[in-house]
Amino acid sequence: MGSLTDLTGRRFGRLHVVRRAPNQGRRVMWLCQCTCGHRKTLATDYLTSKGYRSCGCLRNEFTRKRSTTHGDTIGRHPTKEYRAWSHMKGRCYNPTDPRYGSCGGRGITVYAAWRKDFAAFLRDVGRSPPNGMLKRRDIDRDYAPDNCFWEIPSQSVSHRWRKSSAGARFRPAKRPRSSIETIAAPARAGARKERCRANG
């Protein structure tokens, strides 16, 4: 096996080598504690020559930081949330958008803080669940924190309404109450209108 370098106690960036771990095949493995709290088992060369310096959290932070500088992307593709945001604006403000007639054409607008600021939109509605679609509870009202949510369209309509009270629908994370007029929500009445796919 040759000479084994004992890495126990050594530090590689955020990683602290706790102890040797069982070999994987012929590879000598080390249990590492990351400063973020996660533990990861890595082979010797990952630490000494491949330059691993965290459990993966460092890289995640880096890509997250980079992706938020221009819009919101995964690789080179805009995220679902970013696309929903730009489609929403198109429906409301771009007369050439095929769905402008059912939104902007009817006087529907986008909440002022969202219109110019994707980050504000994301903060209020949160990330979409898988397959989620941005919907409004009441299609006669604007795109605003108290009217938008992520809907999972795979659920059949009847099933959906039965489940809705059990938390199948995703509600906006936070609502800056002060800046929106509070309207006594016609809760179930508004729900029926959503079935016409106007705001998809």
Q: Which residues contribute to the site for Zn ion (CB under 5 A)?
A: 34, 36, 38, 54-55, 57
Minimum Å gap between C-beta 36 and Zn ion is: 3
Q: Toward Zn ion, which CB reaches closer, 17 or 34?
A: 34
Nearer of residues 30 and 150 to Zn ion, judged by Cβ: 30
CB of 37 to Zn ion, least distance (A): 7
Q: Nearer to Zn ion by C-beta: 54 or 199?
A: 54
CB count in 10 Å sphere of residue 9: 9
CB of 155 to Zn ion, least distance (A): 36
Query: Minimum distance between the CB of residue 190 and Zn ion, rounded to whole angstroms?
Result: 44
Residue 13 vs 101, nearer CB to Zn ion: 13
